[in-house]
């Protein structure tokens, strides 16, 4: 038995609705409304891999979401939106991304955080405890904390990351401790 075009269209719509209601990844999507008074919110903080959806709610005007990066930059975007149109962009790099509306002169900022620093590969080398810190942001300050009881923490080292990883070594004979690393944003 052959299926009617109506049945095929209904199946397609059901598939789209089901897909839209069940996200396929752990990445988040944030929304920015565009109205006659600007971008709302005009600043967002997201993580790498998250996306931002701009939606024009201003029935009286076309608006844009335009990156302040130069047009040849891989993080540049420019989209014109009529009333009730939207644009979605996924952010793949950490950093602060400013943008504007070419029509209304509004401005906005997207702050994209990188992954949290990780402490990994613990090992004993010549009686000292050595481990690596990865997923760091070059140029950011990192504070290494130590604790013997997980309730009281003391800062034991502060360093500025020159690259995405650092190797830490504790003092000889320092005893057993727990460690955590905080990147100051």
Query: CATH 2.60.40.10: does it fit domain 26-113?
Result: no
Report which of 89, 17, 92 is spatially closest to residue 53, judged by C-alpha positions.
89
Q: Where along the chain do its domains lie?
A: 26-113, 118-184
Residue 27, pLDDT score: 79
Question: What backbone phi and psi angles, to 5 degrees, belong to 113?
Answer: -85, 140
Residue 18, pLDDT score: 34
Residue 81, pLDDT score: 98
First-to-last alpha carbon distance for the chain, in angstroms, is 63
Please enumerate in sequence order all residues whose Cβ is within 8 A of that of 7, keeping only pairs 6 or more positions apart, or say none.
none
Residue 16, pLDDT score: 36
Q: pLDDT tens per residue, the chain (185 residues)? A: 444 443 333 333 333 333 333 344 467 999 999 999 999 999 999 988 999 999 999 999 999 999 999 999 999 999 999 999 999 999 998 889 999 999 999 999 999 987 777 888 888 888 787 888 888 888 888 888 888 888 888 888 888 988 888 888 876 666 678 888 888 76
């Amino acid at each position: 038995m052959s299926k009617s075009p109506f049945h095929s269209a209904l199946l397609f719509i059901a598939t789209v609705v089901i897909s839209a209601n069940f996200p396929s990844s752990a990445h988040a999507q944030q929304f920015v409304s565009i109205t006659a008074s600007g971008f709302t919110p005009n600043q967002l903080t997201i993580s790498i891999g998250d996306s931002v959806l701009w939606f024009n709610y201003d029935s009286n005007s076309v608006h844009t979401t335009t990156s302040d990066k130069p047009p040849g930059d891989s993080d540049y975007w420019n989209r014109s939106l009529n009333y009730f149109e939207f644009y979605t962009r996924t952010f793949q790099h950490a950093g602060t991304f400013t943008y504007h509306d070419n029509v209304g002169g509004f401005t906005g900022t997207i702050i994209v955080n990188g992954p949290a620093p990780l402490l990994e590969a613990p090992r004993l080398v010549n009686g000292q405890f050595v481990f690596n810190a990865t997923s760091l942001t070059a140029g950011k300050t990192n504070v290494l904390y130590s604790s013997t009881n997980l309730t009281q923490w003391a800062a034991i080292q502060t360093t500025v990351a020159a690259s995405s990883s650092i190797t830490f070594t504790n003092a000889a004979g320092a005893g057993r401790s727990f460690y955590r690393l905080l990147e100051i944003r």
